[in-house]
């Protein structure tokens, strides 16, 4: 009997990639200030920087680009998108934005007043930036297990209800406009929360008049894990599970560059028409008219089709998460310390364990990501102290408990052979780990520093 699964698609078009020499990569990484965000993609062999906006669209989505309606107002493609969001996520009100952070900006501006607290199940970089920019303070209420890479908890994205209750008691519910609940928590390693936990979080918040706002960017991957791990959901489709996830919330921000299988786009979705009216008043000032926001008609058409496609059958998400698990399991078998269980959108390497000789303020994960690129041309991303940034009140680094290199896997882009090459590259770097040294800033941007910061090695390489 056949037990393996294979991708539920075949390849119609290919994009060549370039292999580079060690010497070329040395020049490239030095020129990029040891920041993989600053590399040119032409200098990258296998690009696992992010799963954001890097998916391969289907022929049906590409066809959608040709029939997208570019009317300034009332575009047919906008109404297609409204229908897709209503059908798949179940929210009535759609506020289209250019990408996820556009939606986060608008949500934060309409709900947060200076001095407010916004609890959430671990921070995300742009989300926290917009909360702080609006005068709020993010408070982490994720369960403690999320901070231990080896803990096998099946739902490490869960909200700790005791931490949430303690915050409500301490500051009062009138100071908490909403909780920000992320599905398949990115910074925790792509870890899901359970339906039971989301239901209980929603009950607690609504009892206190606190809104529940999802970051539903990776709700599909979360739904897949619920189907695999939570009793009572094994026979439900991911489409049903995504709908149920959203049913416990008052709205959601979505970066459509992930689950939704497009290269650009996003939205804020809400239930309350009054709140949506406020959001649209800002949308027309910061993004664009309310029937396109930050997207062209063809972008909205491809997005509507991507949303339908992601839940059309469970086969898509099975293969997507299956590919991530394939890479993760190869690395685990070889003894590479990773965040476990393996996440939904990437493999997260525990840089603190691999490089114990580099103190956290010499940026071990940044150094490891640079080293992996140098050794093999594989590009990953730092998700540790550089990403965490500084506390705006004290100016000190945030010291996150997780110091990780993320290898995020674009959807429908790479093959199993690419994953084998990535695994071999990581093993090679792991073998030579003692030769990797720390870094220091040569340029540190004030906010969201990880995108554009530059570094230099502290000591010459041995």
How many helices and strands, by DSSP H and E, does the chain display? 16, 14
Kindly state the helix (H) or strand (E) to which residue 274 belongs, with its residue range.
helix 273-286
Q: Does 403 bind ligand PM9 (CB under 6 A)?
A: no
Cis peptide bond prior to 397, omega within 30° of 0: no
Backbone angles phi, psi at 40, to 5 degrees: -80, 140
Q: Does 33 bind ligand PM9 (CB under 6 A)?
A: no
Residue 258 annotated among the catalytic residues of the structure? yes
> Tokens 């310390």 sit at which residue?
337
* Closer by beta carbon to ligand PM9, 48 or else 241: 48
Collapsing DSSP to helix, strand or coil, 136 comes out as coil
List beta partners, residue 457: 439
> Which one of 26-34, 95-103, 327-335, 452-460 is the stretch in contact with ligand PM9 (CB under 6 A)?
95-103
Residue 225 annotated among the catalytic residues of the structure? no
* Closer by beta carbon to ligand PM9, 351 or else 436: 351
Q: Does 215 bind ligand PM9 (CB under 6 A)?
A: yes
Among 25, 80, 101, 305, binds ligand PM9 (CB under 6 A): 101
Record the tokens describing residue 345, joined without a space. 């959108």
Applying the rule CB under 6 A, the residues between 46 and 75 that interact with ligand PM9 are 50, 52
Residue 9 annotated among the catalytic residues of the structure? no
Q: Does 97 bind ligand PM9 (CB under 6 A)?
A: no
Catalytic residue among 215, 250, 259, 299: 215
Applying the rule CB under 6 A, the residues between 256 and 275 that interact with ligand PM9 are 257, 266
E-assigned strands of 278-345?
A: none
> Which one of 94-102, 163-171, 198-206, 395-403 is the stretch in contact with ligand PM9 (CB under 6 A)?
94-102
Helices 76-88, 297-310: axis angle to 10 degrees equals 20
Among 116, 182, 250, 299, binds ligand PM9 (CB under 6 A): 182
* Closer by beta carbon to ligand PM9, 189 or else 297: 189
Q: Does 410 bind ligand PM9 (CB under 6 A)?
A: no
Residue 124 annotated among the catalytic residues of the structure? yes
Q: Give which of 279, 300, 404, 270 is closest to 350, Cα–Cα.
A: 404
**Residue 402 backbone zone (phi > 0: left; psi -120 to 50: alpha; other: beta):** beta
In the complex, minimum distance from the CB of residue 218 to ligand PM9, in angstroms, rounded to a whole number: 6
> Which one of 58-66, 99-107, 139-147, 295-303 is the stretch in contact with ligand PM9 (CB under 6 A)?
99-107
**288, 323 Cβ separation under 8 angstroms:** no
Q: Does 217 bind ligand PM9 (CB under 6 A)?
A: yes
> For residue 176, with 0-12 CB atoms within 10 Å meaning exposed, 13-18 middle and 19 or more buried, which class applies?
buried
E-assigned strands of 297-373?
A: 346-350
Residue 333 annotated among the catalytic residues of the structure? no
Among 61, 121, 180, 255, binds ligand PM9 (CB under 6 A): 255
Residue 267 annotated among the catalytic residues of the structure? no
Q: Degrees (nearest 5) of the Cα angle 321, 389, 397?
A: 125
Record the tokens describing residue 72, joined without a space. 């300034």
In the complex, minimum distance from the CB of residue 187 to ligand PM9, in angstroms, rounded to a whole number: 8
Residue 348 annotated among the catalytic residues of the structure? no
- The residues binding ligand PM9 (CB under 6 A) are 50, 52, 99-101, 124-127, 182, 186, 215, 217, 255, 257, 266
Which residues does the annotation mark as catalytic?
72, 124-125, 215, 258, 383, 450
């Amino acid at each position: 009997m056949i037990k393996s699964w294979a991708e539920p698609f075949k390849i119609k078009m290919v994009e060549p990639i370039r292999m580079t020499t060690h010497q070329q990569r040395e020049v490239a990484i030095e020129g990029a200030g040891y920041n993989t965000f600053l590399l040119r993609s032409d200098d990258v062999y296998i690009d696992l920087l992010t799963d954001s906006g890097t998916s391969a669209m289907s022929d049906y989505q590409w066809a959608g680009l040709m029939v997208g309606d570019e009317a300034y107002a009332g575009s047919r493609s906008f109404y297609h998108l409204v229908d897709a969001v209503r059908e798949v996520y179940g929210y009535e009100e759609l506020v289209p934005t250019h990408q996820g952070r556009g939606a986060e900006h608008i949500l934060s501006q309409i709900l947060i007043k200076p001095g407010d607290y916004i609890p959430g199940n671990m921070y995300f970089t742009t989300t926290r930036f917009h909360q702080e920019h609006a005068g709020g303070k993010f408070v982490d209420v994720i369960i403690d297990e999320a901070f231990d890479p080896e803990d096998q908890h099946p739902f490490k994205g869960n909200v700790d209800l005791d931490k949430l209750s303690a915050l409500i008691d301490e500051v009062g519910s009138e100071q908490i406009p909403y909780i920000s609940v992320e599905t398949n928590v990115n910074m925790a390693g792509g870890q899901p929360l359970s339906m039971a936990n989301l239901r209980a979080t929603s009950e607690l918040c609504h009892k206190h008049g606190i809104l529940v706002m999802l970051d539903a960017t990776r709700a599909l991957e979360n739904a897949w894990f619920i189907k695999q791990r939570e009793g009572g959901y094994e026979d439900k489709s991911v489409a049903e599970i995504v709908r149920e996830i959203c049913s416990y919330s008052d709205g959601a921000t979505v970066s459509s560059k992930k689950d939704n299988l497009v290269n650009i786009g996003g939205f804020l979705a809400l239930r309350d028409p009054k709140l949506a009216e406020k959001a649209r008043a800002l949308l027309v000032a910061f993004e664009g008219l309310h029937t396109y926001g930050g997207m062209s008609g063809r972008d909205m058409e491809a997005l509507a089709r991507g949303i339908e496609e992601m839940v059309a059958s469970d086969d898509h998400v099975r293969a997507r998460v299956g590919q991530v698990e394939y890479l993760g399991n190869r690395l685990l078998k070889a003894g590479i310390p990773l965040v476990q269980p393996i996440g939904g959108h990437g493999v997260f390497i525990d840089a603190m364990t691999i490089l114990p000789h580099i103190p956290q303020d010499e940026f071990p994960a940044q150094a490891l990501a640079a080293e992996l690129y140098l050794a093999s041309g594989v590009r990953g991303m730092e998700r540790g102290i550089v990403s965490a940034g500084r506390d705006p009140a004290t100016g000190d680094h945030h010291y996150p408990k997780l110091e990780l290199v993320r290898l995020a896997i674009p959807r429908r882009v790479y093959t199993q052979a690419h994953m084998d090459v990535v695994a071999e590259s990581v093993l090679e770097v792991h073998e030579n780990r003692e030769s990797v040294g720390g870094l220091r800033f040569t340029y540190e941007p004030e906010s969201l520093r990880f995108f554009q910061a530059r570094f230099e090695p502290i000591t010459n390489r041995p």
